[in-house]
Amino acid sequence: MNARTRLQNTLQRLALNEDLNFLLTNRVPRIALTRFMGRWSRIRHPWVRDLSMAIWKTFSDLNLSEARKTHFESLHDCFIRELKPGLRPIDARPGVLTSPSDGIVGAFGRIDSTPDGADAQLFQAKGFPYRLLDLLGDDARGRALAQQLQGGSFITLRLTSSMYHRFHAPCDATLEHVTYISGDTWNVNPIALKRVERLFCRNERAVLQLRRPDGGLLVLVPVAAILVASMRLRALDVPLNLRYRGPNQLPCAAHYRQGEEMGWFEHGSTILVLAPPGLEPAPGLSDGLRLRMGQALLQHSAAHTPTSPAPSP
């Protein structure tokens, strides 16, 4: 067998594996399976917990050595585990905004500019653009946010099932508003991102509108996925999940110091970080890079001079 034939066979096997992965994680009753998993993971029975965690460890690189607790009541208790103090130091250099979570860097770059921001685009994967407005919600608030964000930067952070699932403030900020958008639960792994158009715009998500001390905007969009359609925010007294249908607009006034916990996923998914002009990806950021919460993610552009606070939409 020559080298060309071996290469063709390898590519065929990879394509088959991708097809199987996509079928097993997407061509299933996603919402029903997600609801079942939500109930199952909360069962506080040692046999259920131990069997579930054994299966989880078999199919992932789960490492619990960083966990604050050494004993978990349920699978869900392990999913949302806290870490031992001091394991995620914060990069406190002036002008640096840090990663809100552990994660793997996906697509990132510039948000396209349009005259009114309505058709500004970003990418979920190469060749798969989507409209910023479709992600944020096509209403007055979404349009106002899109207008402020066009020409800025976006960074996609993917959380795997075994990662630390809590997310934190990238800088000193005030959480001014949350827009909750109910949706589907497509898998958000790289295979699905290359096959399902506008995937992030289809899935359940929350748009977190943050105001920085200099008056600038920062938007975080936690996106739910299969088995993961639930997230909690410390600023709200309701869980954001498939059973919560509104009200979609949730005003807030929660203040955070850089690195303070804002909330958590019930399992693992994706966080999109959207920044207006004046902020750019930190040096060394690359597709596939593994980041920990607290590491540099964005920085102020050298050409940017902070302006007076912009009015909230």
Render pLDDT for 199-212 as a digit per residue (tens, 0 to 9): 888 888 899 999 99
Tell me which DSSP letter residue 68 carries.
S
Instruction: Find the catalytic residue in 52, 76, 161, 168.
Output: 168
Q: How far apart are CA 172 and CA 98, in angstroms?
A: 10
Whether 168 sits among the annotated catalytic residues: the reply is: yes
Phi, psi of 58 (to 5 degrees): -65, -35
| Residue 121 structure tokens | 């685009």
Domain coordinates of the chain in residue numbers?
A: 3-79, 96-300
Whether 300 sits among the annotated catalytic residues: the reply is: no
Q: How far apart are CA 155 and CA 275, in angstroms?
A: 9
Among 201, 157, 164, 162, residue whose Cα is nearest residue 183: 201
Q: Where is average pLDDT lowest: 38-52, 187-201, 267-281?
A: 38-52
Residue 306's H or E segment, with its range, is none
Q: How far apart are CA 305 and CA 303, in angstroms?
A: 7
ω into 247 cis (within 30 of 0): yes
Q: How far apart are CA 103 and CA 111, in angstroms?
A: 21
Instruction: Find the catalytic residue in 74, 101, 102, 161.
Output: 102
Q: How far apart are CA 125 and CA 116, in angstroms?
A: 24
Q: Average the pLDDT over 87-104 and give the result.
A: 95
Whether 182 sits among the annotated catalytic residues: the reply is: no
* 17-40 pLDDT, tens digit each: 434 444 445 455 455 555 656 665
Among 167, 170, 172, 166, residue whose Cα is nearest residue 256: 172
* 105-124 pLDDT, tens digit each: 999 999 988 766 678 888 98
What contacts 150, CB < 8 A, 6 or more positions away? 111, 112, 113, 114, 117, 120, 132
